[in-house]
Amino acid sequence: MPVPSAKQPPPRIQIEGTEPVIDCGRYPAKRTVGESIQVEADVFRDGHEVLRAIVRSRPVGAKKWTESPMEPIDADAGGNRWRGAFAPDALGPWQFTVEAWSDPFASWRDELRRKVDAGQEDLESELGEGAQHLRAAADRATGADAKALTAAYTAVADTARDWQHRVAAALDPETIAAADRCPDRHDSTIAGPFDLDVDRERARFGSWYELFPRSWGGFKGVTKQVPKLADLGFDVLYLPPIHPIGVTNRKGANNALVAGKRDPGSPWAIGHHDLGGHDALHPDLGSWDEFDAMIAAARKHGIDVALDFAIQCSADHPWLTEHPEWFNRRPDGTLKYAENPPKKYQDIYNVNWDSEDWRGLWQALHDAMMVWVDRGVRVFRVDNPHTKPLAFWEWLIREVRTTHPDTIFLAEAFTKAAMMRTLAKLGFNQSYTYFTWKTSRYDLVEYMVELAASGMQEYYRPNFFANTPDILHESLVHGGPAAFHARLILAGTLSPSYGIYSGFEHFENVPVTEGSEEYLDSEKYATKKRKLDGPLLPVVKRLNAIRRANPALQHVSNIWFLDAQNEGLIAYAKRTGDNVLLTVVNLDPQWAQEGSVTIPANLGLPPAFGVEDLLTDARYDWRIGPNYVRLEPGGAHVMRVSGR
């Protein structure tokens, strides 16, 4: 038989099934600064030795690892699953490993206890072995631990004393604690390192408001709205593209192919041969000084300004003349405008990602983004990232976040699930979702379980926009104000991040044609006169305050769906520590609905408890088991458990 060739014997400890690890370590998991990351792994070996395991963590580039203990979570059932946690304290890329080793002294103690409990008294050989372990531990220890272990060694090795005193010295809690602080890791085995991306809290939690600056008086007008937006509790102010707009093939009102003289055009038709492209401001919106003042005002009020990053060009974009090789042309030499059949975008041209000068194109896009990063923008909503190379996004996000790790990228990708998941894995910090189209209780529960418990929760951070300039869902068209209220509460309590597009608070719900998701007189092609005075805003303000005050609403994976014996009602609990919220929403915008909502015993609540409806300040007595609820059309309870 062949002789093993390794100089050292192979490891006997196995570490398997480490979590969270994304695609066998290809991509990092995600957390925010100060947020605990729970690490689990199967740790086992042959024999009966006592094992120890720890999580080791550090920022990438740091020399020193921080160690956190792991404990078996199913030891009573004879399992091998271990769990530990750590909380990263800095932005940027991190690494963690799982390390395990056999503990000879603990194994000896366990064996000794069992022999003593069995009534054995001839323990001289065992005590001699224990003395050796204590001597070795004393040599590894320093300070008070070294003194304590040396004293224990002396007592255990003293054959003149009776065996009971020697056993007591070996099993003394202080001796055990001192030995545990200087372990023998002679057979240490390490799994990893595994990657982790650490963001600021805004990547996980925030309330977004979207507006077109041209409908608010440009940058000066938007700046005037910042204090009101802050008072309403918004954390992010998202602006569609603010660049010069092309003239050639400019779209008119309601996407008309011919624009009138006063039609402003679509902001997504980026670029003007005289005014600039992706690194320029539309002059009608204001100057650079006014833009900087808007950013500063938002920062003063704790608001991030998010800019749209759309990789597409009007026919008048400077790049078309400076870099014609970056664009697709038909065999007859004409440019190929963008299409998503049956939609046509005659005012927009896509770049040619297969250009021989793809490196130059990538670098130009990077440089354009850095213009805004250097002016203090730290959030970008990326338009249709699923139609661009994945390798480009992985490179761009890494390049930007290497120097500015507080930058956040939101993927606006309504496409196939695999693509949406991969965009999140490769670096996007937040993602649009299918929420807009999930309107029934079954669909909402099924989708939330996927987001919260399928493994996606480790890397995919949802942002539930209730509406967008492109998406006016039929539930809002036909449901009226009640539907708007219900969708607002659902978005803000199901997802840590949510958003509304201006007009939502006014219940705007008229489509351009029946069955269309496009708004009539869409703001994409027109300038409107907007004000922050919609009738839904008091509820928005209240909801945002509730979200900020209750940590349970700032996470996605802590949700339990509750049995509500009426398909018109959806009920769920969220819990973070002692903060427990119960939400019930009437999904029917036409009729009041009633039924019982059952609180299960495994939610960890007392048999009877009080709740406070944070939307209305009403108080109710609830209990484990069924509880009666009646809600008006689109109505909701957002209740905090407050005790008996």
The stretches in the chain having pLDDT less than 70 are: 1-6, 75-78, 643-644
Contact, 256 vs 330, CB < 8 A?
no
What is the structure's pLDDT at 476? 98
Alpha-carbon dihedral angle through residues 292, 298, 301, 303, given to the nearest 10 degrees:
-140
Indicate the pairing of strand 408-412 with strand 430-431.
parallel
Does this model's pTM top 0.75? My answer is: yes
Catalytic residues: 383, 412
Among 455, 413, 450, 449, which Cα is nearest to 433's? Answer: 413
Burial class (CB in 10 A: 0-12, 13-18, 19+), 7: exposed
Matching fold, domains 13-102+189-198 and 559-643: yes
First to last CA, the chain: 73
Q: Domain segments of the chain: what residues?
A: 13-102+189-198, 105-180, 559-643
DSSP-derived secondary structure for 491-551: HHHH-SEEEEETTGGGT---BSSTT-SSBTT-TTSS-----S--TTHHHHHHHHHHHHH-G
Nearest to 411 by CA among 302, 522, 306: 306
Residue written as token pair 């351009």:
512
Tell me the CATH number for domain 559-643. 2.60.40.1180
DSSP letter (8 states) at residue 628: E
Q: How far is the CA of 22 from the CAs of 55, 389, 424, in angstroms?
A: 17, 21, 11
pLDDT of residue 440: 98
Q: What share of the chain is helix, strand, coil (3-state, %, to 5)?
A: 35, 30, 40
Q: How far apart (Å, rounded) are the C-alpha atoms in residues 614 and 446?
A: 26
What integer pLDDT is reported at residue 155 of this predicted model? Answer: 86
* Whether 125 contacts 115, CB under 8 Å: no
Q: Are 630 and 594 in contact (CB under 8 A)?
A: yes
Task: Count other C-beta atoms under 10 Å from residue 227's C-beta.
Answer: 13
Task: Centre a 10 Å sphere on the Cβ of residue 432 and count the other Cβ atoms it contains.
Answer: 25
Within 10 angstroms of residue 607's Cβ, the number of other Cβ atoms is: 10
Burial class (CB in 10 A: 0-12, 13-18, 19+), 643: exposed
Residues 219 and 298: beta-carbon distance below 8 Å? no
For 105-180, the fitting CATH number among 1.20.58.80, 2.30.110.10, 3.40.50.300, 1.10.760.10 is 1.20.58.80
- Give pLDDT tens digits for 279-318: 999 999 999 999 999 999 999 999 999 999 999 999 999 9
Residue 287: helix, strand or coil by DSSP? coil
Using CA atoms, how far apart are residues 296 and 301, in angstroms rounded to an integer?
9
Cα 621 from Cα 353, distance rounded (Å)? 61
**According to the model, what pLDDT value does residue 487 have?**
98
- As assigned by CATH, the class of the 13-102+189-198 domain is mainly beta
Question: Per residue in 157-187, pLDDT tens?
Answer: 888 888 888 988 888 899 999 999 999 999 9
Tally of CB atoms within 10 A around 40 = 18
- For residues 613, 619, 625, 628, the Cα torsion angle rounded to the nearest 10 degrees is -80
Q: What is the DSSP letter of 272?
A: B
